[in-house]
Chain A
Amino acid sequence: MSRAKLLELGIELPLFPVTAVGSFPKPDFLLKARTDFAHGNIRRGALEKSERQATEFWIRQQEELGVDVLVDGEMYRGDMVAYFAENLDGFEEGGLVRSYGNRYYHKPIIISEVHWDEPITLEWWKYARGLTAKPLKAILTGPYTVMDWSFIEYYPDRRTACRALAHELRKEVEALIEEGAKIIQIDEPAISVRPEELPVAIEAMHILTDGLPGYFITHICYGAFQNIYPAMLELPVDNFDLEMSNSQLDMLDLLKKSPFTKDLSFGVVDVHTHLVEPEPEVEQRLRRALELLPKEAIWVDPDCGLKTRTAEEAIAKMQSVVTAAKTLRNDSGK
Chain B
Amino acid sequence: MELRLCNHSSYPRIGDAAEHQLLRRTLTQRDKGEKTDDAVRAAQDRLTELALAEQAEAGLDLVTDGQIRWDDPVSHLAGKLSGVRVNGLLRYFDTNFYFRQPVVSGQPARTEPLLLSEFKFAQEKSSRAVKAVLTGPYTLARCSVEENAGAGGFDKILEAYTAALAAEVAALAAAGAKVIQVEEPALLKYPDDFARLEGSLTALARGKDSAQIVLALYFGDPGPLYDRLQTLPVDLLGLDCTYDPSLIDRVASTGAARTLVLGLVDGRNTRLEDPDAIARQLENVARSANLNLAYLSPSCGLEYLPRDRARQKLRHLAVIRNTFLGSPA
A residues apposed to B, CB below 8 Å: 94-102, 104, 107, 109, 148-149, 151-153, 190, 192-194, 222-224, 246-247, 270, 272-273
B66 part of interface (Cβ distance < 8 Å)? no
Interface pick from B12-20, B111-119, B195-203, B274-282:
B12-20
A101: B residues at CB distance < 8 A? 71-72
Shortest CB-to-CB span from B249 to chain A, Å, is 20
B97 touches A99 (CB 8 A): yes
Residues 196 to 242 of chain B near chain A (Cβ within 8 Å): none
B24 touches A100 (CB 8 A): no
Question: When the two chains form the complex, which single residue of B27, B72, B96 contacts A148, counting CB atoms closer than 8 Å?
Answer: B96
A95 touches B308 (CB 8 A): yes
A223: B residues at CB distance < 8 A? 91
Interface pick from B122-130, B157-165, B299-307:
B299-307
The size class of the interface chain B forms with chain A is 20 to 34
A151 touches B303 (CB 8 A): no
Mask of B47-63 contacts with A, CB within 8 angstroms, 1/0: 00000000000000000
A96 touches B271 (CB 8 A): no
B138: A residues at CB distance < 8 A? none
A97 touches B88 (CB 8 A): no
Tell me the nearest residue of chain A to B10, going by C-beta.
Answer: A98
A98: B residues at CB distance < 8 A? 12-14, 97, 303
A193 touches B93 (CB 8 A): yes
B304 touches A97 (CB 8 A): yes
A301 to B304, CA, bound (A): 31
B308: A residues at CB distance < 8 A? 95
Q: Assess A151 versus B271: contact at CB under 8 Å? Given A96-B15, A97-B304.
A: yes
A104 to B16, CA, bound (A): 11
Tell me the nearest residue of chain A to B75, going by C-beta.
Answer: A101
B149: A residues at CB distance < 8 A? none
B85: A residues at CB distance < 8 A? none
B306: A residues at CB distance < 8 A? 94-97, 107
5 tightest A-B contacts by CB?
A: A95-B306, A100-B98, A193-B94, A151-B270, A246-B88
Mask of B20-44 contacts with A, CB within 8 angstroms, 1/0: 0001100110010000000000000
B295: A residues at CB distance < 8 A? none
B307: A residues at CB distance < 8 A? 95-96
A97: B residues at CB distance < 8 A? 12, 14, 303-306
Tell me the nearest residue of chain A to B272, going by C-beta.
Answer: A153
Shortest CB-to-CB span from B10 to chain A, Å, is 9
Q: Assess A95 versus B88: contact at CB under 8 Å? Given A100-B98, A102-B28.
A: no
A148 to B304, CA, bound (A): 12
Mask of B258-292 contacts with A, CB within 8 angstroms, 1/0: 00000000000111000000000000000000000
B93: A residues at CB distance < 8 A? 193
B89 part of interface (Cβ distance < 8 Å)? yes
Tell me the nearest residue of chain B to A250, going by C-beta.
Answer: B145
Q: Show 17 A/B contacts (Cβ-Cβ < 8 Å), sorted by A.
A: A95-B12, A95-B16, A95-B308, A96-B307, A97-B12, A98-B14, A99-B97, A100-B97, A102-B31, A149-B96, A152-B269, A153-B269, A222-B90, A222-B98, A223-B91, A224-B91, A272-B89
A152 to B72, CA, bound (A): 24
B309 part of interface (Cβ distance < 8 Å)? yes
A222: B residues at CB distance < 8 A? 89-91, 98
B13: A residues at CB distance < 8 A? 98
Shortest CB-to-CB span from B256 to chain A, Å, is 27
B270: A residues at CB distance < 8 A? 94, 109, 151, 153
B324 part of interface (Cβ distance < 8 Å)? no
A114 to B269, CA, bound (A): 18
Tell me the nearest residue of chain B to A222, going by C-beta.
Answer: B91
A247 touches B94 (CB 8 A): no
A224 to B14, CA, bound (A): 28
Shortest CB-to-CB span from B276 to chain A, Å, is 18
